[in-house]
């Protein structure tokens, strides 16, 4: 009788570890937001479902923001303008040796420094605002992002997860549950 009762330890431990493996899958891949009695259940939708969409949304937003800033050279805010200004200020610092030339008048020194700094800024502006958007258009980056978004769907990620992680996790959980259950069974039989 005690032996039959002790077999429950094996079944309970296997069931518990399989339930934990299922919970891992549920937390990662639950497709919808869930509510119980009007309260939102944490970690729904699943972590991978939620973050995958956020990652692609941020990539699209960053690309659109870059293209909008590149189209507006008169826009005096945004990171493209800041990068151009950083280049201009850096070049101004690099050509500060002109201030040490004794024979040049101060107004000419200032003009030379500004001409060099502004030409560097225009070169960077041309690269950032013309060349890179042309390359993005030429290589159809936006279209390729859409294709990548379609290829890396939640179902594809879930398929790889099931094949390479979930099935081995179930096997490992079953084996671990069996071993822990046998240990618990033996301890129960020894102590009873």
> Is the overall model pTM greater than 0.75, yes or no?
no
Averaged pLDDT, groups of 10, the chain, 192 residues long: 84 94 88 80 78 86 92 87 94 92 90 94 94 93 87 85 93 95 91 86
Cα–Cα distance measured from residue 14 to residue 83, given in angstroms and rounded to the nearest whole number? 59
The whole-number pLDDT of residue 162 equals 92
The whole-number pLDDT of residue 115 equals 95
Query: Look-up: residue for tokens 């490992």?
Result: 172
Closest by Cα among 153, 154, 165, 160 to 31: 154
Q: What is the DSSP string of 68-131?
A: HHHH-TT---SHHHHHHHHHHHHHHHHGGGGGG-SSS-HHHHHHHHHHHHHHHHHHHHHIIIII
């Amino acid at each position: 009788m005690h032996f039959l009762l002790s077999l429950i330890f094996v079944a309970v431990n296997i069931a518990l570890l399989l339930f934990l493996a299922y919970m891992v899958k549920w937390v990662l891949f639950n497709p919808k937001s869930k509510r119980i009695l009007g309260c939102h259940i944490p970690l729904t939708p699943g972590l991978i479902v939620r973050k995958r969409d956020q990652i692609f949304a941020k990539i699209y937003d960053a690309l659109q923001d870059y293209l909008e800033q590149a189209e507006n050279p008169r826009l005096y805010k945004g990171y493209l303008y800041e990068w151009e200004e950083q280049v201009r200020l850096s070049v101004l610092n690099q050509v500060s040796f002109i201030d040490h030339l004794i024979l040049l008048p101060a107004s000419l020194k200032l003009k030379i420094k500004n001409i060099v700094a502004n030409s560097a800024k225009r070169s960077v502006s041309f690269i950032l605002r013309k060349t890179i958007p042309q390359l993005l258009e030429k290589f159809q980056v936006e279209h390729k992002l859409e294709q990548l978004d379609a290829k890396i769907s939640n179902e594809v990620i879930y398929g790889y997860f099931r094949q390479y992680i979930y099935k081995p996790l179930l096997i490992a959980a079953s084996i671990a549950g069996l071993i822990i259950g046998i240990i618990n069974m033996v301890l129960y039989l020894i102590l009873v």
